[in-house]
Structure 1
Amino acid sequence: MFEFDQYLGFLAFLTILTIGFWLMIFLLTFVIPYWIGGSLIERLNEIKEERKAKREASH
């Protein structure tokens, strides 16, 4: 059915496909939400600091 070279190629293909699948799952469930959440928190802190600076400048 398969020769040894074809078998190794098929195993390499399955390995790369599996690694890509789990990498995509990891990125979608952990990395991207962490990145978006961190940038939102940082932006909210910047807005709070701007308001504080305006309040202190007006007094």
Structure 2
Amino acid sequence: MFDFDQYLGFLAFMTIATIGFWLMIFLLTFVVPYWIGGSIMEMIKEKREAKKQAQEELK
């Protein structure tokens, strides 16, 4: 059915595909939401500081 080198090639392909699959799952469930949440928090802080500065200038 398979020669030994074909079997090794198939195993290498399956290993790379599996690693890629789990990497995509990890990135989509943890890294991307953390990145988006952090940038939203940073944007809120910047708006809050700009609002504080504008109120201090009015005094």
TM-score (ref. length: structure 2):
0.99
CA distance in 1, matches of 2:10, 2:58: 70
CA distance in 1, matches of 2:26, 2:6: 30
Query: Matches of residues 2-41 of structure 1 in structure 2 within 5 Å?
Result: 2-41=2-41
- The alpha carbon displacement at 1:8 in A equals 0.2
Count of aligned residue pairs for this structure pair: 59
* Superposed structure 1 runs of 4+ greater than 6 Å apart: none
Q: 5+ residue gaps in structure 1? A: none
Q: 5+ residue gaps in structure 2? A: none
Structure 1 counterpart of 2:6, one-letter code: Q
Task: Give the match for residue 47 of structure 1.
Answer: 47
Structure 1 counterpart of 2:53, one-letter code: A
TM-score (ref. length: structure 1):
0.99
CA distance in 1, matches of 2:54, 2:35: 29
